[in-house]
């Protein structure tokens, strides 16, 4: 269970750290001034999607932990035959790393110089959208390009996973041929489905980069996508270690 516990510890630590950055524990009612309270109220409302994502990722993390635990225990049975991983999985790993980095740097670009990047704040007491200054063209291009590259590399990752499946199938490693085969298709398939689901949100974020949405909304979307991709990257790296047979659990072995 060592690998599972380490995985859960990493997920929990990152989640707690990220939530601590969102100022969810602030108490605006203890501060003076209606303006301060309204500002914190906006922060609380904007934090709801972040909390929802954390809860969702916590559920996903527990689910993958159960799968990894089952995989490690099943490896100790004598009929287990390790699956030779296709070399393309290393290319796929690089693609997922690039995708995650692109989203990170898209967020960095979106945050840079804050008010001067996307839509500047409305004039005090006004609500005329025609007075809002749009994002700088150079920054807008940078964000769009990074979002495009993140999308392209994610799609390429999924295509690479399908190629890996085909290579294994053609080599005689069918889905039902051995428990190790079944776990490989199961783990990579479920992970791929989560990437596919994330592409829907990423597509919505790309659309937002073309539309006249507020700076806060666009940054929030990019931040959620980036954190989701970072999480799936960590999950994939753990799965890769498990599928390579590097996660041998001495606790399980000692009981056989």
Neighbouring C-beta atoms of residue 70, cutoff 10 Å: 14
What is the mean predicted confidence (pLDDT) over 228-247?
A: 91
The answer to whether residue 76 scores a pLDDT higher than 80 is yes
The region, left, alpha or beta by phi > 0 then psi within -120 to 50, assigned to residue 80 is: beta
Greater confidence (124 vs 14) lies with 14
Asked if residue 123 has pLDDT above 70, the reply is no
Are the CB atoms for 93 and 161 separated by under 8 Å? no
Looking at the predicted structure, is the pLDDT value of residue 41 above 60? no
**Percent above pLDDT 90 for the chain:** 41
Read off the pLDDT of each residue in 73-94 and give the average, rounded to a whole number: 90
| pTM recorded for the entire structure | 0.76
Q: Write the pLDDT tens digit of every residue in 161-193.
A: 999 999 999 998 888 878 889 999 999 999 999
The pLDDT assigned to 110 comes to: 81
CB atoms closer than 10 angstroms to residue 163: 15
C-alpha R_g of the chain: 22
Kindly tell me if the per-residue pLDDT of 115 is higher than 50.
Answer: no
145/79: higher pLDDT: 145
- Spatial CA neighbour of 183 closest among 72, 87, 90, 93: 72
The pLDDT, as a whole number, for residue 74 is 85
DSSP state letter for 30: G
The confidence score (pLDDT) of residue 4 equals: 53
Q: Which domains does the chain have, with CATH numbers?
A: 2-253 (1.20.120.80)
Inform me whether the pLDDT recorded for 33 exceeds 60. no
Instruction: Return the minimum-mean-pLDDT range out of 35-44, 81-90, 219-228.
Output: 35-44
């Amino acid at each position: 269970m060592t690998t599972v516990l380490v995985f859960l510890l990493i997920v929990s630590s990152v989640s707690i750290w990220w939530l601590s950055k969102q100022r969810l524990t602030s108490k605006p009612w203890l501060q003076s001034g209606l303006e301060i309270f309204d500002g914190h109220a906006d922060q609380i409302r904007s934090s709801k999607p972040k909390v929802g994502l954390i809860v969702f990722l916590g559920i996903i993390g527990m689910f993958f932990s159960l799968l990894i635990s089952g995989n490690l225990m099943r490896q100790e049975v004598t009929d287990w035959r390790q699956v030779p991983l296709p070399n393309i999985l290393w290319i796929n790993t690089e693609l997922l790393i690039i995708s995650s980095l692109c989203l990170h740097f898209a967020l960095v670009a979106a945050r840079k110089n804050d008010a001067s990047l996307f839509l500047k704040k409305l004039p005090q007491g006004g609500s005329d959208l025609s007075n809002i200054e749009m994002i700088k063209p150079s920054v807008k291009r940078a964000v769009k390009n990074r979002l495009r590259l993140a999308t392209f590399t994610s799609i390429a990752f999924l295509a690479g996973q399908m190629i890996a499946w085909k290579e294994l199938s053609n080599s005689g490693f069918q889905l039902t041929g051995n428990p190790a085969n079944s776990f490989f298709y199961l783990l990579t398939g479920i992970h791929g489905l989560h990437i596919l689901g994330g592409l829907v949100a990423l597509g919505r974020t790309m659309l937002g980069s073309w539309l006249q949405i507020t700076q806060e909304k666009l940054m929030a979307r990019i931040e959620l996508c980036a954190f989701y991709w970072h999480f799936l990257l960590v999950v994939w790296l753990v799965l890769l270690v498990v599928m390579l047979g590097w996660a041998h659990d001495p606790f399980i072995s000692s009981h056989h």
